Amino acid sequence: MTIVRVTHIGGPTALIEFAGWRLLTDPTFDPAGRTYAFGWGTSSRKLADPAISPDALGAVDAVLLTHDHHGDNLDDAGRKLLPSAGTVVTTVSGAARLGGGARGLAPWASTTLEGEGRPTVEVTATPCRHGPPLTRPIVGDVVGFGLRWTGQQHGALWISGDTVLYGGVRQVAGRLPVGLALLHLGGVRFPVTGPLRYTMTARDAVELVGAVRPRTVVPVHYEGWKHFQEPRTVIEREFAAAPDDVRDRVRWLRIGVPTDLET
């Protein structure tokens, strides 16, 4: 069994520590107040400061970047942090844009993180679709990440990435046993595109958790930005109405507080 310490810094950003490794997801460290354009008439205002500043973060062995082209997943302060990280793993197109030796992964491709005195970590990209069907040319490529290393008892650590619920993300249930899942939620919508969703709703999450059946589910990327349509209260209500074997898997983290979890 491995104990994983997760610190939810805000939005999609989490510090993940285990067995001597310090990994960071989707670095967003800009202060609140700015509005970020996402393209095609969509934008969002950042409403909350990060719980930890980059200066207080400490050394990072690798950044797991689900996508580089939206400011709520990689902002200016987060981008400045990338050169100091040992490794950056992201999409194939994102690696080409970032340069600097960033590793690009297509869905279900893998790479490894290696460090002296630490277990080798296999990082596998999992499918995402950041919007309705046929919108990939507009919203761009996104991946999630499944992390596996020796000593895990309950399965991989999975970061879903920004995605709606669709066939690609459902493949995780059959291909990746999951012990701990960080699910990007929020049910994103924009006025210009009406009812169309760009990330999972709480109802989607209930269905996905029932299929994947991770031991523990940690909701992330549901707060701190104006474009999120489903805050924690909505997510809690949906999970409260779910079957016991889904409801009892959810663990809420206090933002900025390190929490020890099993995987």
Q: Does residue 237 form part of some domain? A: yes
**Residue 110 belongs to a domain with what CATH number?**
3.60.15.10
Q: Does residue 132 form part of some domain? A: yes
Residue 125: the pLDDT is 98
- Other beta carbons within 10 angstroms of residue 107's beta carbon come to 18
Phi, psi of 91 (to 5 degrees): -75, 165
Q: Does residue 262 form part of some domain? A: no
**Dihedral (Cα; 13, 95, 196, 29), 10-degree rounding:** 30
Residue 162: the pLDDT is 98
Q: Is beta strand 3-10 parallel, antiparallel or unpaired with respect to 143-148?
A: unpaired
Q: Does residue 220 form part of some domain? A: yes
Number of domains in the chain: 1
Residue showing tokens 């169309």: 196
pTM of the model: 0.97
Q: Whole domain around residue 95: which residue ranges?
A: 3-256
Q: Does residue 188 form part of some domain? A: yes
> Over its length of 263 residues, how does the chain's per-residue pLDDT go in tens digits?
689 999 999 999 999 999 999 999 999 999 999 999 998 889 999 999 999 999 999 999 999 999 999 999 999 999 999 999 999 999 999 999 999 999 999 999 999 999 999 999 999 999 999 999 988 888 999 999 999 999 999 999 999 999 999 999 999 999 999 999 999 999 999 999 999 999 999 999 999 999 999 999 999 999 999 999 999 999 999 999 999 999 999 999 999 999 999 88
Q: Does residue 261 form part of some domain? A: no
Q: Does residue 263 form part of some domain? A: no
Residue 137: the pLDDT is 86
* Residue 64: strand pairing partners: 25, 89
Q: Does residue 252 form part of some domain? A: yes
